Chains A and B, each alone.
Chain A
């Protein structure tokens, strides 16, 4: 059962990535090319999800939007992981005051209602892909920091790390060789969880008009567009949303799968 889920999740994730990469070429339409004679077309064999106000194929835009959304989500996750992970390890390797300062700063960030933080930072930076990456990366960093710090602290007490240190190995080398490998799996699980959340956050911000701006499609702004078509052309809303749901689910399910296999203490994403 567990394997079946992981297998499904892997298949779904791969399919979505593949479709986002090559899908726009497979379909005969351009995500940006209007077709004025064919606006608000309902779902049909030619347009599986119908067309939008400019006559553009919604499926093509959804797939092209996946490219933007997945890239932004991935980059934000990487930023959060690198920022939180590095600082988390540093807080244990470095001097004691660094730990105190970083701990206090990230605690404060963690107490900030996350969505509000992302919203404000994204708005202040002016919207668009890069500001979104920065905003989500910063908002996601505290949870990575907390996890990395905890892992680093227990790793420092592990026998083989202490032994290596006792044998006179230089401390950074010890960390990289002996402690880091054990930390990677839980960090990856947490990162997977963040990625899934970031996909939803990007969509929500773009829906609110502070994320990715038109005409460049993303899952969020394709859905924002669809809001206006909701009653006339429901497929334009149902389709992209289902794709987004599948993406967020598959990434989360993969993360859960690793976690269970890893059988480490629960680090829930809350």
Chain B
């Protein structure tokens, strides 16, 4: 319990730190939302009036405190670009990113665990070498460039899949098609990383005493393998959590490549529009998910792995 409290405490600290860094980073940027809204070719001196209307003429510490007091009351503020509550904007964008991240996570975890385990059981074979080559290349893969290649191949050359964005008409099936390439783009480097870790863990668990005992008692190969993989999985949890938690920021680039209107696009747009409340809102969500997922993986790992419980 104390351990849990300490972890939660340090997560809270991280959270405050992150939001402060984000705020200061945006304040440090030249230009503000007012000059962007006043725009170009539209008469001069207008930005001062807009600045006043948006409260941007107040000193930043005052706005910083106002943001926190708003947050404590459950209010994320109003977008400086869209004149709408940040919470509703973020909630509008969330499904796109959540679907993309979810799909990518399912792909990467399935592929990562299967490939890793497969390679471990055939350690030293051609299959193992192949999987290891895949992980080495996957880890070095520039994500957005891999997206280009998939686009070129499947959306242009073969024209099997749609080129960009989401289907304006909606629909589950059409949306899935639009999300397929981006999800694969996100999944490959992550699958590579997971395969690498799972392979090492399974190799390790095969060496462990209980498994060798089971073998000497004549247990079947299939069951043993399952046991070995199951025993190895808790060890992979931190990585899986890291991947899941990090997917929210990982989508930034991929949304850009495939023109998807998710949180990543909102973040990039928010930064260039100097829309501080929106960037704070997206960061809050990204960091919140990141921290909560990591916390949960911590707890889950303790629950699953007796060795950690003993310690």
Question: Which residues in A have some Cβ–Cβ distance to B below 8 Å?
Answer: 1, 104, 107-108, 111-117, 119-121, 123-126, 196, 200, 203-204, 207-208, 210, 223, 226-227, 230-231, 234, 237-238, 241, 244-245, 248-249, 252-253, 256, 266, 268, 270
Contact = CB atoms under 8 A, between A and B. Distances in A.
A115 B246 contact: yes
A117 B290 CA distance: 13
Nearest to A103: B10
A112 B26 contact: no
Contacts of B151: 230
Contacts of A230: 148, 151-152
A112 B238 CA distance: 15
Interface string B286-298: 1100110010000
Nearest to A105: B17
B140 A123 contact: no
A207 B252 CA distance: 11
B311 to A, nearest CB: 17
Contacts of A113: 245-246, 248-249, 286-287, 290
Interface string B136-175: 1101111111001101100010000000000000000000
Given A120-B22, A268-B197, A227 B253 contact: no
Interface residues of B, number: 53
A114 B250 CA distance: 10
Best-surrounded residue of A108, A113, A210 (most CB of chain B within 10 A) = A113
Contacts of A125: 28
B289 to A, nearest CB: 9
Contacts of B271: 123, 210
Interface in B212-261: 238-239, 242, 245-246, 248-250, 252-253, 256-257
Contact of A237 (B11, B145, B248): B145
A207 B238 CA distance: 30
Contact of A252 (B139, B286, B290): B139
Q: Classify the secondary structure of B's interface with A.
A: helix
B252 A241 contact: no
B209 interface: no
Nearest to B124: A1
B84 interface: no
Nearest to A250: B140
Given A113-B249, A115-B250, A237-B148, A270 B197 contact: yes
Contact of B249 (A1, A116, A126, A237): A116
A161 to B, nearest CB: 27
A1 B129 contact: yes
Contacts of A245: 137, 140-142, 145
Contact of B25 (A114, A124, A200, A256): A124
Nearest to A227: B148
B55 to A, nearest CB: 21
B139 A116 contact: no
29 contacts: A1-B129, A108-B13, A108-B14, A108-B17, A111-B10, A111-B11, A111-B294, A112-B14, A112-B287, A113-B245, A113-B246, A113-B286, A115-B250, A119-B252, A120-B25, A121-B21, A123-B25, A123-B271, A196-B140, A204-B143, A207-B253, A208-B252, A223-B142, A227-B257, A230-B151, A245-B140, A245-B145, A252-B139, A268-B197
A249 B26 contact: no
B299 interface: no
A6 B17 CA distance: 41
B11 A231 contact: no
Nearest to B151: A230
Best-surrounded residue of A112, A121, A244, A256 (most CB of chain B within 10 A) = A112
Interface string B94-137: 00000000000000000000000000000000000100000011
Contacts of A238: 148-149, 152
A252 B142 contact: no
B87 interface: no
B283 interface: yes
B49 interface: no
Interface string B23-65: 0111011100000000000000000000000000000000000
